A and B are shown apart, each in its own frame.
Chain A
């Protein structure tokens, strides 16, 4: 998001389940941990001193395993669960301190919610379900129906408006749930494992649907998930929770490349990095590059390749824009053929570069079909580095063991004007 205005600010929020939460909160402040509190008082720490910000218009995913406190966290945002301590500011207003009237107004106007179990009213038709929030706020029936049908159109279900929920499939039911959240036209949409009960194909479809909706009208979406692939796919930023604590907040790339601790690392084990990492993330500037001048001779270039023990050289112009690739073989052919005057004759015919924003998935065909490392270009066609088959495979493997290393230029770049 370009303009980063804070929509929701969570400050030192804690939730303790048990008969004397204040006592446990005090222990928590004095440094006791979750297990110690449970052992001593029998009370459970649901969320422990969580702080983070959610920006306007972003999809913020709160991710964690079951029992990590993520569902408790999202329910504290609209106070379905009362926080034991701390503050939650929505547009600068402290939700934790609101009176019940203010709270009801907040829920009716600003926050829609979508549930894992869909939670549709079985006695109401599809449109009446979509209009439920409006009915609660006392909108009259005509307007209610109009706005509900509009919301159903957004999720592609307007033709089913007079059906009952039990007649719909799971995916369709959750679309109704989504429409119910959208119908009140909220700034904030809370989605509690909204797609977890759906089968994988439908889940992906719903994620796409959500991204599509988000591209049309930017809402602040707080999405709870235990599925990392889902989080990576839809999240602008992710907060990872473990045992009631927020252990890391960041963009998917930041977290993947720089996991805060073993828990986060373990989470990413088994994640398919090809969807998340881009060519720019993994490219290394280790190749022999040749900045082309008029006087370049194939012989000199060949000499350099041999001395560096490389098979390929990457030819750039003076602005470091990519021109082509030469190989030791093509240089030799060129020298034998026309006496080795013109370097351009030695350029490999089907050498192609990929963009730094392409995902590993996108560049896979190029990597596998070429014998040379693939050049990666950044803005304005500027050469960034290369990805060899070896590097690609190593990154894949790391994805299963630990997050990929930061793409720091380990070896100094090798360009030299000849």
Chain B
């Protein structure tokens, strides 16, 4: 049976993909370079902002946000975390990482929330979108790291782009879930009083989905932080740098403080954004 002869590769999908990427790179590299411009500009802006901001102001600002949205405990924790990061000599790397995370989360929100709303309102759209989200969440980032580098060259911007791909699914899924969880009778009531579909979305669905959207945002931030080390492999700076360098040169201590800073930063951002979500819910 030729049909069940698996000793030879019948479908050279790997070759096709390679050729396809090559073809994209040779013909459309310029286009992809243009696509990355908005990300690049935003990142530059954020980098500049965190660069000129004196550390004391930033620490106080973050502590204030933590106090305002998540309470006194988190505020103190935030304060201590950033002092520790400073004393560990990782301040600059942390600022780069913070800028990268904020930049990727911003683009995830800009792309993800509208997609989530569409997917929440249309079953067909959800069916089409779902396999893409599955692929984005399960494909190991290393697989798309190489094409990303080929199309966008190495550097922090490529790191951010890879991070966007990786961190996008939760905000789409949770926005969609939030929209779907709005009780149908509330939508019916709005329609009965003459609401247009746009009004139903703006005045009922989005406000009621907000806690879920905030949870999605929180998850997206966590995912973005977990990409920090991986994007350091393609030349993105930040806290991934010390970790990768430490691993390459077997400097366990360097890798450890890099990792510690990432974990602490993740905890601070998680607590603040969770507090933000709860605030909305009860308010």
Binding site for B on A (CB under 8 A): 78, 80, 104-109, 111-113, 115, 117, 119, 121-123, 132-133, 135-137, 180, 184, 190
Contacts and interface: CB of A to CB of B under 8 A. Distances in A.
13 contacts: A105-B194, A108-B193, A111-B192, A112-B193, A113-B189, A115-B188, A117-B185, A123-B208, A132-B190, A132-B203, A133-B194, A136-B193, A136-B199
B194 A137 contact: yes
A112 B193 CA distance: 7
Interface in B133-189: 183, 185-186, 188-189
B188 A80 contact: yes
Interface string B206-225: 01101000000000000000
Contact of B193 (A117, A122, A133): A133
A121 B188 CA distance: 12
B157 to A, nearest CB: 38
B194 A113 contact: no
A107 B190 contact: no
A132 B193 contact: yes
Nearest to B191: A80
A119 B194 contact: no
A111 B192 CA distance: 8
Given A104-B194, A133-B194, A137-B194, A119 B203 contact: no
Which 7 A-B pairs rank lowest in CB-CB distance, beginning with the nearest?
A108-B194, A107-B194, A119-B189, A133-B193, A113-B192, A119-B185, A104-B194
Contacts, number: 56
A190 B194 CA distance: 14
Given A115-B185, A119-B185, A136-B199, A78 B204 contact: no
Contacts of B269: none
Nearest to A138: B199
Main secondary structure of the interface of B (DSSP, over half): helix
A136 B203 CA distance: 9
B195 A119 contact: no
Given A135-B203, A136-B199, A136-B203, A119 B186 contact: yes
A interface: dominant SS: mixed
Contacts of A111: 192
B9 interface: no
Interface in B221-279: none
Contacts of A119: 183, 185-186, 188-189
Given A122-B208, A136-B203, A184 B193 contact: yes
B196 interface: yes
B185 A113 contact: no
A221 to B, nearest CB: 15
Q: How large is the interface on B (under 10, 10 to 19, 20 to 34, 35 or more residues)?
A: 10 to 19
> Which of B188, B190, B204 has the largest count of A CB atoms less than 10 A from its CB?
B188
A372 to B, nearest CB: 57
Nearest to A184: B193
Interface of B: 183, 185-186, 188-196, 199, 203-204, 207-208, 210
Nearest to B186: A119
A106 B193 CA distance: 9
Given A109-B194, A113-B189, 9 more contacts: A107-B194, A111-B192, A119-B189, A121-B186, A121-B207, A136-B193, A136-B194, A136-B195, A180-B193
B193 A113 contact: yes
B236 to A, nearest CB: 39
Nearest to B281: A123
A115 B207 CA distance: 21
Contact of A80 (B183, B192, B204): B192
A107 B186 contact: no
Contact of A107 (B193, B204, B208): B193
A183 B161 CA distance: 51
A104 B207 CA distance: 22
B198 to A, nearest CB: 11
Contacts of A115: 185, 188-189
A121 B192 CA distance: 14
Nearest to B204: A121
A137 B203 CA distance: 12
A122 B183 CA distance: 11
Contacts of B204: 121
A78 B194 CA distance: 10
A44 B21 CA distance: 54
Given A117-B185, A119-B185, A78 B208 contact: no
Contacts of B185: 115, 117, 119
A119 B200 CA distance: 14
Nearest to B280: A123
Contacts of A135: 203
A136 B197 CA distance: 11
A123 B190 CA distance: 14
Contacts of B183: 117, 119
Contact of A78 (B186, B192, B210): B192
Contacts of B210: 123
Contacts of B190: 132, 136
Nearest to B187: A119
A337 to B, nearest CB: 75
Contacts of A117: 183, 185
Contacts of A190: 192
A112 B194 CA distance: 10
Best-surrounded residue of B183, B190, B193, B194 (most CB of chain A within 10 A):
B193
A121 B209 CA distance: 12
Contacts of B203: 132, 135-136
Contacts of A107: 191-194
Given A119-B186, A121-B186, A123-B207, A104 B196 contact: yes
A81 to B, nearest CB: 10
